[in-house]
Structure 1
Amino acid sequence: MALKSLKNINEDERSKLLKPFLDAPDDQKFGQDLVALYLDCSPWTLARMRCDGSELPYTKIGRRVAYRKADVLAFEKRRTVTCTAQYV
């Protein structure tokens, strides 16, 4: 499994990489590297979430993992809180 670390990229590169995700229709699927960049986590975190059975749905065909944009946005919305007392 070749997971890329996109931690060391600057804001211009980050914006350029995220543009296709942001402009895409909700039913389009994206690889874990781009989703990790959007969610500001590592691809390893997404891999761990898949093993732990997190709320972020994914599709797996063979060795390829893909996330639907609508699922990623819904996951992000569910994880949004307004105060620390909400997060349990």
Structure 2
Amino acid sequence: MLKDLRKLNKSEQQEYLDRFFKADEEQKFPQEVVALYLDCSPWTLARMRCDQSSMPFSKIGRRVSYKKRDVLQYERSKTVLNTAQLAAV
């Protein structure tokens, strides 16, 4: 079952984010932590995987994980300079 970490208190959220920030770029993180970092729900990530609009991920059984490097690259790819670029993203 997916857990939305945004429902935790701020200090608990910060603990997860600190681990993400300090980790090596090859470190894998569960979808709940990635969703917290991207400020979306884990269900949004699940939908993105189905829509093929997601970043690379690993899936073993029911466990889904993302490499920190791929999450950061995905975030950079969604960065725009002005609202006119939003239509192209």
> Normalization by structure 2: what TM-score?
0.90
2:3 is matched with which residue?
4
2:70 is matched with which residue?
71
1:33 aligns with 2:32: yes
> Normalization by structure 1: what TM-score?
0.91
2:46 is matched with which residue?
47
Secondary structure of 2:74's partner? helix
Counterparts of 2:44 and 2:86, CA distance in 1: 19
Residue identity over aligned pairs, in percent, reads 56
CA displacement 1:35-64 (0-9 Å, x = unmatched): 000000000000000000014110111111
Alpha-carbon distance, 1:81 to partner: 1.0
Counterparts of 2:25 and 2:4, CA distance in 1: 25
Counterparts of 2:52 and 2:24, CA distance in 1: 26
Alpha-carbon distance, 1:5 to partner: 1.9
Secondary structure of 1:67's partner? strand
Aligned length: 87
Q: Name the one with the larger helix percent.
A: 2
Counterparts of 1:17 and 1:58, CA distance in 2: 19
Structure 1: any 5+ residue segments left out of the alignment?
A: none
Counterparts of 1:82 and 1:10, CA distance in 2: 33
Counterparts of 1:87 and 1:74, CA distance in 2: 17
